[in-house]
Structure 1
Amino acid sequence: MSETELDDVETLADLADLAREAAADEETVLVFIEQEDVWFAVVRVDGEEDPRIFVSDASSASKSAYGEIILTDELLGRGSDDDLDDLVVELDEDAEDDDEDEDAVAESPDGVPNGPLGDAGLLIEFGIGAKELMDMSVEGAVPGDALTEIADALGCGEVLEAVR
């Protein structure tokens, strides 16, 4: 884990290429992005595969230049036949819908879903399950604390603090 300069990164493809350059032998690279304790994102790059992304608060991220990089049309369900409900991470995976009208996804005025979005299972093989990642992302959680908790669980907490 190291700090990387993101000044020349304009797209998710640029970010993925930068992560791949930092990798040895196509190993997995995790990119942590944190915006002023408002939201965080984890981008996972595995070799030449498409990046996997988890964003703690898509609506807040959409107001940031870094958020614009990771909130792709594909992730937001725009320009495809994908149903946005399939992309939005459910806060309570075990809850049953009592009212079918509540299936609609809450969105900000600009059409970006409020709350977590993306692949909450991207850290499972590192020992952080989807439920744990979601618990770190719920309203009231501090994004910086969540990233610290993730980095500590991955054994690189000291490195994260060094690059902050």
Structure 2
Amino acid sequence: MWLLLLLLKVASLAPALGQDWGLTQSQTLTAGGAKAWRYTLSPRGEEARALWEALSLQYRDHLRAGYRVDLGGWRLYFLGGKLRLERHCQAVNPACFTFGALPVDKARQDRFLMELGALLDRALGEAARTGGTVTLSRLFRVELRRNQALPYPAAPSGWKP
């Protein structure tokens, strides 16, 4: 019963954040019991998908070149050939993001990234409490154990370094 209530609560909060991003929470149930939670963030709608495709390509290029990518409260970077995810901004604002050189109005990109940052923070917070996998489509995937210490080891998702 609690599981159903939790899923309804997550679903009811998503529209309040905006229309660009979706957060899907799932868990596989088998005869052996429940498996770890999976949280997947992906853009919703044609415009959001096109914006994320262009932005994620630039983010991948930044990472390959040895730069960090700031995603609001989180920072993604390579260290010793391994992708890492760590805490970044405590008070998230538009300056906490790596902006793309895109033909998109800055205010639009701000809204897009702020929504992404809020959902990413929520997904990582849940996964850190329960254990599970968080995937940001086209960028990274991180598998967390319950109460795992930072920085989190991550893996590219949808690309090769």
TM-score using structure 1 length: 0.28
User: Whose strand proportion is higher, 1 or 2?
Assistant: 2
